[in-house]
Amino acid sequence: MKIAILSRSRDLYSTKRLVEAAKNHGHVADVIDTLRCYMNITSAQPTIHYKGAELKHYDAVIPRVGSSVTFYGAAVVRQLEMMNVFCVNGSVAITRARDKLRSLQLLSKRGIGLPTTGFAHSIDEIQDLIKMVGGVPLVIKFLEGTQGIGVVLVETAKAARSVMEAFLGLKVNILVQEYIKEANGADIRCFVVGDNVVAAMKRQSNSPEEFRSNLHRGGAASAAEITEEERTMAIRAAHIMGLNVAGVDIVRSNRGPLIIEVNASPGLEGIEKATKIDVASSIIEFIEQSIEHDKHRGGKG
């Protein structure tokens, strides 16, 4: 098979591992810079051009679309879908997962456990918003934040009001979320591929003062044993988003596991090093199985 990996850099750990895994499985893997793609949008024959030439045919595409290029990256993936290329994660699923508010609303509608979360536009509603999520301490999150950036823990009502007023005054969209104190600054990243959690790691904040467990914020990672409930929840959440490959982040609370985020482009470095599991190969094997299934289904039709 010919596999394209949409990535801004071939030097990124995740990109290099996917190329390596594809080659180990006997496939050709090319790294395509998402922002260097440009499109001919026509009803007759949609095409993608890359660095001055029409992009050759690929059997499958693995989108590694960063949050800063979500709009353009999703457009490239959408064009590939129009060209009948198998995309590991589709354009709709990517944009759905990147919209934190929309993703939480979809998960909530399907009965997935979540921290109590509030969203408002008017500064006048701040006091009631604080009450809605159970008071302080609480967490304030940018809708567009990633890797722990734009996530603030506030411990007093006065501080919460000041921070929210500042963000709303700057026209920044925020979520207000209850603080799960019993999680002790830890969460579980479940790496979902298809219908399985292929690896899971516990991420722990690096100090009592730091509640964010993201590895980019200095958190530590270790292999984690997850419960059947957590496994089922992670797979359901990925499927609700429409994602075949996803990083599902779970916190353990006194009322059971709660999902805090579903990531459409989860990194491989932290989880592969923590668990010693070849996650990249699981993604390539999923592509093989999916394309083989499509061939059989097409043959029967």
pLDDT range class, residue 301, cuts 50, 70, 90: very low
Tell which wins on pLDDT, 185 or 228: 228
- 200 shares its domain with 211: yes
Give me the chain's average pLDDT, please.
91
- 123 shares its domain with 67: no
- Predicted confidence at residue 169, as pLDDT, reads 87
For residue range 252-261, list pLDDT tens digits in order.
Answer: 999 999 999 9
Residue-by-residue DSSP string for 100-137:
HHHHHHHHHHTT-----EEE-S-GGGHHHHHHHTTSSS
Asked if residue 99 is part of any domain, the answer here is no
Q: Residue 85 pLDDT > 60, yes or no?
A: yes
Give the E-state strand segments of 9-80 in sequence order. Answer: 28-32, 37-40, 47-50, 53-54, 60-63
Domain end position, chosen among 179, 199, 233: 179
pLDDT mean over 83-105: 95
Give the number of other CB atoms < 10 A from CB of residue 267: 20
- 218 shares its domain with 265: yes
pLDDT mean over 262-266: 96
pLDDT range class, residue 198, cuts 50, 70, 90: very high
150 is in which domain, residue-wise? 117-179
pLDDT mean over 96-121: 94
Give the residue from 228, 218, 193, 158 showing the smallest Cα distance to 62.
193
Asked if residue 294 is part of any domain, the answer here is no
Report the CATH number that the domain containing residue 208 is assigned in CATH: 3.30.470.20
Report the domain count for the chain: 3
Asked if residue 53 is part of any domain, the answer here is yes
CB 65 within 8 A of CB 35: no
- 81 shares its domain with 17: yes
Q: Residue 200 pLDDT > 90, yes or no?
A: yes
- Predicted confidence at residue 228, as pLDDT, reads 98
- 144 shares its domain with 214: no
pLDDT mean over 186-210: 88
Asked if residue 266 is part of any domain, the answer here is yes
- 52 shares its domain with 32: yes
H or E segment to which residue 160 belongs: helix 157-169
Q: Residue 86 pLDDT > 90, yes or no?
A: yes
> Per residue, what are the HEC states of 196-239?
EEEEEEEEECCECCECCCCHHHCCEEEECCCCHHHHHHHHHHHH
Asked if residue 297 is part of any domain, the answer here is no
CB 221 within 8 A of CB 186: no
pLDDT mean over 3-13: 97
Report the CATH number that the domain containing residue 123 is assigned in CATH: 3.30.1490.20
Which token pair is 205?
């904040």
Q: Residue 171 pLDDT > 90, yes or no?
A: no
- 83 shares its domain with 130: no
Report the CATH number that the domain containing residue 23 is assigned in CATH: 3.40.50.20
Q: Residue 248 pLDDT > 80, yes or no?
A: yes
Which token pair is 40?
């001919």
For residue range 268-295, list pLDDT tens digits in order.
Answer: 999 999 999 999 999 999 999 999 988 7
CB 9 within 8 A of CB 15: yes
Q: Residue 231 pLDDT > 80, yes or no?
A: yes
CB 241 within 8 A of CB 93: yes
Q: Residue 120 pLDDT > 90, yes or no?
A: no
CB 97 within 8 A of CB 246: yes
pLDDT mean over 76-90: 96
Q: Residue 300 pLDDT > 70, yes or no?
A: no
